[in-house]
Amino acid sequence: MTPKELAEYQALIQADILRLTEQAWNAGNLSYKLHAGQKQIWQTLRNTKAQEALLFISRQWGKSYLSACYALSYCLQNPNSIVRIAAPTLKQAKDIVSDNLGPICQDAPEGLIQPIKSDYRWKVGNSELRLGVLERAHVDSLRGGNAKLIICEEGGFVHSDDYDYALRSVIGPQLLRSGGQLLHVTTPSEEPDHYIHTEVYPRCSVTGTKFELDIYTNPQLTIDQIDKAKVLAGGDNSPAWKREYLVQIVRDGASVCVPEFSDNHVGTFDPAEHTLWTISADFGGVRDKTVSLLVTYNFEQAVIEVHDERVHDSNTDTDTIVQAMREMAGNRRIKAAYMDAPGQLLVDLRYKHGFEALLPHKDDFEAGINAVRLAFSHNKIRVHSRCKFLIATLRGATFNKQRTDFARSMALGHMDALAALIYANRMVDRSTNPTPDGLTYAEKVAPAWMQKPKDAQSNKALADALLNSFGKRKG
């Protein structure tokens, strides 16, 4: 082939490429721009009947590039549609879209994608791509028109309550009317019990639209590049590496109040035969929740046990709270009740309700949390499985940004259950031996199921019961 023939051949190939590229754009088929992993997600999103999908994917994987391609494709294939891309802030939304539209649209036909006068809208074919904000203060930017596709970028960096509100009050109603699709595109949140973790993740798992991919699944990165990312994130054991690149939900001490708590501290158990009971409560008043815990100290095992709880929303009347605590106590012998509440309320509890409660010791905020953390790390607190609100709080309680107080959330309040546990850990009586005087040694150590009615007890009977519990001697 002569140089002239080669040049003509190359020109023909280039013309074919341009023609095929234009056809692909006009048809909204942009999958040729994706790597293998992105293409698999693309096909699932195109073919699924599910209205919701979660792209729980590592940094540097190309998830925002994929979502931008998908948004453009949807605009082109569904004329006269509104597609929204939202992020925690408007600047983040603009940066995410602008950074990806440039590379994607390099080969787009002229005039197919045009920015509108506003910096936050683009005309894509006969449809419109709009930006919005997820944080509650500016979430109204997502209102107006019924979007057929909404992509929520980096929702894990929005407070769980704000994200919940955005979905239920703004995004959900639009998609309900349009029958459109919702994509969550994010890495895990620093909040262990974030709405995305507790609600979106299980929903999308059921529908087969949960895509959970770490950095090692990116075919375009080398091991050396991944290792550099690991170093920058703080190394193998850093929360940032685990969360941002390995896509793990991490409970770390930087944001979570009690990272030592685990399912190993939860179970179903009976109280000791002889024990002293304590009620520990945090009064929420007009702003927060009121939580009461029924607590005992297992003297023999030296473990605090939380056996029950009562939870009330803000503005619950005192009569209801007192009645609930009495019902929780039942006929148990309550040695003391402690409640963090205004002094006048404690007076009213005593004289109007006949309920004696004392203020717990409230010293250093951080010291109280650390004492609970140490107790869990040494397995000195266990929680009955019926205490669901306390368990949820221990899993999800976080600090405010300054770490000077608990964060607030719609689900967990002001971490009031944790506050009640802190008071219990400080105030429960660990020194009094609850075993009555006058019992024999066998009676003191024998489990309750071995002990017969009092009139039938004897040292011999109890000794026989203890021996028989180990089985008969062979031979």
Mapped onto helix, strand or coil, the DSSP state of residue 325 is: helix
Please say whether the beta carbons of 85 and 131 come within 8 A. Answer: yes
| DSSP 8-state secondary structure symbol assigned to residue 153 | E
Q: Is the pTM of this model over 0.85?
A: no
- Pull the structure tokens for residue 265: 């501290």
Mapped onto helix, strand or coil, the DSSP state of residue 189 is: coil
Name beta bridge partners: 85: 131, 151
- Cβ atoms < 10 Å from Cβ of 437: 5
pLDDT value for 13: 72
Mapped onto helix, strand or coil, the DSSP state of residue 434 is: coil
Instruction: Determine the distance from the C-alpha atom of residue 227 to the mean position of all C-alpha atoms in its chain, rounded to a whole number.
Output: 28
Q: What does each of the 475 residues of the chain score in pLDDT, given as a tens digit?
A: 777 766 766 777 766 677 888 899 999 999 999 999 999 999 999 999 999 999 999 999 999 999 999 999 999 999 999 999 999 999 999 999 999 999 999 999 999 999 987 768 999 999 999 999 999 888 887 887 789 999 999 999 999 989 999 999 999 888 888 889 999 999 999 888 899 998 899 899 888 999 999 999 999 999 999 999 999 999 999 999 999 999 998 877 777 899 999 999 999 999 998 899 999 999 999 999 999 999 999 999 999 999 999 999 999 999 999 999 999 999 998 999 999 999 999 999 999 999 999 999 987 899 999 999 999 999 999 999 999 999 989 988 888 878 889 988 877 889 999 999 999 999 999 999 998 876 655 555 554 444 445 444 555 555 565 555 555 544 4
| Residue whose C-alpha is closest to residue 412's, from 396, 425, 388, 401 | 396
pLDDT value for 439: 63
- Give the span between the Cα atoms of 415 and 196, in whole angstroms: 20
- Give the span between the Cα atoms of 200 and 309, in whole angstroms: 28
| Residue whose C-alpha is closest to residue 149's, from 184, 125, 100 | 184
Q: Encode burial over 119-148: b for 16+ CB neighbours within 10 A, e otherwise.
A: ebebebbebbbbbbbbbbeebebbeeeebb
Q: Compute the radius of gyration of the chain from its Cα atoms.
A: 31
pLDDT value for 402: 83
Q: Cβ contacts of residue 335 below 8 Å, gap of 6+? A: 276, 277, 278, 429, 432
pLDDT value for 85: 96
- Pull the structure tokens for residue 375: 């107790």
- Cβ atoms < 10 Å from Cβ of 439: 14
pLDDT value for 141: 76
- Pull the structure tokens for residue 349: 């509890």
